[in-house]
Structure 1
């Protein structure tokens, strides 16, 4: 490990408590979730509050106009559930509106053939039917204890007060400023004079904020009227009208007819325990494939040999995924996703991942609702006759991978953000906790590799020269530092329960991510 890497060693210790814990990509969202748990809420109640609040705190990652999936563990039933609410192509979408340009490969997350004017990447034409509110509403209707209004209201307050622009927020906005400037409503919300990215706080006394009054009103309406407001209320009508006027194919009927899918997870025996994951159009089946390949390779005595076997298993599983499931996302792209994990004092758990797809989604804001819109149409191959070809009403294939594992009385819920980097992170964390009996703190601080479809294994420099050399015997390896930016690895968050003690951890290098335990919490917003 070189001097730079040695100077960048960061620890973010796991927290523990007999009460509930929320681990997310933003500490304020974790605190809001813990306040719900402290008030007697279920893990699902906390998930509602975190889902909406984090959509305000890091709006470029997710929000009510996105999609996602969650894994739920119900301690009272002693069983897991999978809930999917991914984005779908509008029923009125016309594939003729996405002609191939003949100019090579699109430049965002997926190396599809390029579409004229990048209509599947940016702008209202890229907007798919969102599912986050329908999904979280379905979970709350089944298991929630606290009033919906009380869980959504804090997010409206956050939106009215405004997004706090520090160095990290300023960097993210700057990275998309050129594209945001194309949409007047996005430019007005995120840019100065409709052109320039805002400069973040330079001192502790500086607090630059970007308020979103329209989003605050929308969230207040959803809080008052329930999750159905996003599907068949005034918010749904206004959102569909805005997308139509900007040239998209999303209609009110698409929102009205959307339904989340609640059912049994994909459950497998793994490393002496069990792992439960989302089935079908997620990375869950690929995680199961990776574990089957890894177990077939047999146990390995050294860390270098274990990582080499993991790289082989992930590479093979991704090759199968690319050939059969239609997912051809570029391994270099970070994606725009957030993940949080929750455990309450009864042992109920939630692992939830939600996304807009690209950073800032379609780079379009709905002026009537203040919501940043997804670009889910980019999840489809614009070339017809392929496994994941664009088609009206079709569900999107996602890389999200929320998972729940259990072994010898210990249970954990994990997931991550980071596009195709999600699966390798979840696989390694779950392997460590199942096969190596690591606690949450050890698993989250252990150096990782990334194998997400390319021939090169990206490895954390902190592994050291001996392990890197052993890994390099069978793989082409590129060693990089584990930093918050650029994104070499995924950003996980997880919780664990052993006996009656809960634990929580967030990615150590995440600038905002943190796990918060149920005890005295003071928020400085």
Structure 2
């Protein structure tokens, strides 16, 4: 067994996080205030879709480095009365005038988060040329109009109030800014917001993002129409083109959300719904099938053989995925550099049993680093989802939609009742984490709280398997006989086992639970209550959604 043991210099604590519980529904998010904004919709009589949309919009103001109006993603919805699941794809789209010559490969640069070659001046991951047409506003508006119950203005009220207050900086926010300071410094607007005086904003300060509240208010009034075809679209395209982007008014106007039946996987009497082959869903289905074959009858609790089966299944499905995407030949060893990426995951459930899993992203932390001056929108760097070389399944082509993502929002149903939903942020780490949490609940009857807190491993056919040292010695020994092991503690930063968010519902008692990963200090679950926006002195206004 070869190991890289860093425990001697590890953090000297064990991370745990509380679970929110209520029979009236629950919301979980990577930021507690966003979860509270969503749970307020349940308190006001709304459903799980209202709650998830409110949560997603609120994240623009409290976790702008992960997701927002300038991002894109997937949503899976379980409609309890209709007994059916729906998937929404609101992924980004390349500008119609995208040209490969704008992205010459630079062999001296590291690969993108998706494993594709770097290009000159990091043009595919930083700055205006790295931006795709964002789908977030279209996706959220579509979900609310089709399946929500509350007015857009009410659902977005907490997000607007948070944006008007400004971003309260704590130590975790300072960390996020500091990690990306070089990229943020390239953009004059982002530099002025996040690097006051030329340095990352310090804790106990407050950052105001110019025009963000007005942009949210305009969307609340006019919906996606203004964003893609109206006055807001004109501002967006004006800023983009002034910065060198090829995105046009026609590109925005052509954007559409894809609504379809989700991919289905069956596992031990449960049905798992994911967005399908363009997400992490296909790898999830392959992983579960491979593990089920190796472990047809699970024991009462996980054993070393369980974790070997999970690790081998993850290696198997990741190898197939890399071959399909053209980043690995069938004879390749699979050794590559793992790239970090950042996203936001959230889940909601209501008292009627409707359940939602949503994951959306700017791709890298702070996306392209670009904040549009007229709207305050932080923009994605999703051009790096595409290969700058010709002839591959993911090669850049004008108007092409993102067709390969790690995001894996999952809703799990048994006997006609949604039991839990789970998603995660973390690039390549997402699918392994989501699928392990789901497998622990389905294979061993763990609660969502037990599964989220359980040690995890990470494997993506990269030449080694990362393991949490909290595993017992027998498990580590068994895994070490088959894999090169990296011993790595669960940390606040970097998050080496993804950042999981989940909700569950017990159909017998009606109890709903919400939980966010213990490594996320600002994350958490929330139960229905009026949304209270507290200012730094604790006397802020109460916002009734």
Question: What's the TM-score once normalised by structure 1's chain length?
Answer: 0.95
Query: Please, which of 6, 10, 14 is the counterpart of residue 19 of structure 2?
Result: 14
From the superposition, tell whether residues 65 and 52 of structure 1 become closer, same or farther in structure 2 (CA, over 3 Å): same
Task: Quote the residue 1:76 is aligned against.
Answer: 81
Task: Quote the residue 1:494 is aligned against.
Answer: 502
Q: Is the 8 A contact 1:218 1:370 kept in 2?
A: yes
Query: Please, which of 253, 264, 267 is the counterpart of residue 267 of structure 1?
Result: 264
| Pairwise CA distance, 1:14 | 2.2
Task: Quote the residue 1:132 is aligned against.
Answer: 136
RMSD: 1.9
* 1:426 matches 2:434: yes
Q: State how 1:146-185 maps to structure 2 within 5 Å.
A: 146-185=150-189
2: CA distance between counterparts of 1:415 and 1:61?
14
Secondary structure in 1 matching 2:470:
helix
Q: Is the 8 A contact 1:265 1:278 kept in 2?
A: yes
1: CA distance between counterparts of 2:438 and 2:137?
28
| Pairwise CA distance, 1:50 | 0.7
Query: Please, which of 193, 198, 203 is the counterpart of residue 201 of structure 2?
Result: 198
2: CA distance between counterparts of 1:47 and 1:236?
24
* 1:480 matches 2:484: no
The range that moved more, 69-78 or 499-508, is: 499-508
| Pairwise CA distance, 1:143 | 1.1
Query: Please, which of 484, 487, 506 is the counterpart of residue 516 of structure 2?
Result: 506
Secondary structure in 1 matching 2:487:
strand
Q: Is the 8 A contact 2:338 2:462 kept in 1?
A: no
From the superposition, tell whether residues 47 and 327 of structure 1 become closer, same or farther in structure 2 (CA, over 3 Å): farther
* 1:402 matches 2:402: no
Could you give the per-residue CA deviations for residues 174-230 of structure 1, whole angstroms, max 9, x where no partner exists? 11111111111111111113x211222xxxxxx311011311111111111122221
| Pairwise CA distance, 1:250 | 1.1
Structure 2: runs of 5+ lacking an equivalent = 329-333, 536-545
1: CA distance between counterparts of 2:39 and 2:118?
45
1: CA distance between counterparts of 2:58 and 2:103?
34
* 1:225 matches 2:237: no
Query: Please, which of 350, 357, 379 is the counterpart of residue 351 of structure 1?
Result: 357
Task: Quote the residue 1:66 is aligned against.
Answer: 71
From the superposition, tell whether residues 108 and 173 of structure 1 become closer, same or farther in structure 2 (CA, over 3 Å): farther
Q: Is the 8 A contact 2:61 2:159 kept in 1?
A: yes
Q: Is the 8 A contact 1:272 1:435 kept in 2?
A: no
2: CA distance between counterparts of 1:56 and 1:69?
20
Could you give the per-residue CA deviations for residues 243-263 of structure 1, whole angstroms, max 9, x where no partner exists? 101001111111111001111
* 1:98 matches 2:103: yes
* 1:516 matches 2:526: yes
Task: Quote the residue 1:305 is aligned against.
Answer: 305
1: CA distance between counterparts of 2:337 and 2:295?
28
Q: Is the 8 A contact 1:405 1:413 kept in 2?
A: yes
| Pairwise CA distance, 1:453 | 3.2
Task: Quote the residue 1:378 is aligned against.
Answer: 384
Question: What's the TM-score once normalised by structure 2's chain length?
Answer: 0.91
Task: Quote the residue 2:331 is aligned against.
Answer: none
The range that moved more, 108-117 or 430-439, is: 108-117
* 1:277 matches 2:274: yes
Q: Is the 8 A contact 1:72 1:80 kept in 2?
A: yes
* 1:464 matches 2:459: no
Q: Is the 8 A contact 1:361 1:372 kept in 2?
A: yes
Secondary structure in 1 matching 2:211:
helix
| Pairwise CA distance, 1:271 | 2.3
From the superposition, tell whether residues 6 and 96 of structure 1 become closer, same or farther in structure 2 (CA, over 3 Å): closer
Task: Quote the residue 1:204 is aligned against.
Answer: none
* 1:213 matches 2:210: yes
1: CA distance between counterparts of 2:10 and 2:84?
42
| Pairwise CA distance, 1:523 | 4.7
- Report the count of equivalent residues: 517
Task: Quote the residue 1:203 is aligned against.
Answer: none
| Pairwise CA distance, 1:445 | 0.8
| Pairwise CA distance, 1:365 | 1.0
Structure 1: runs of 5+ lacking an equivalent = 201-206
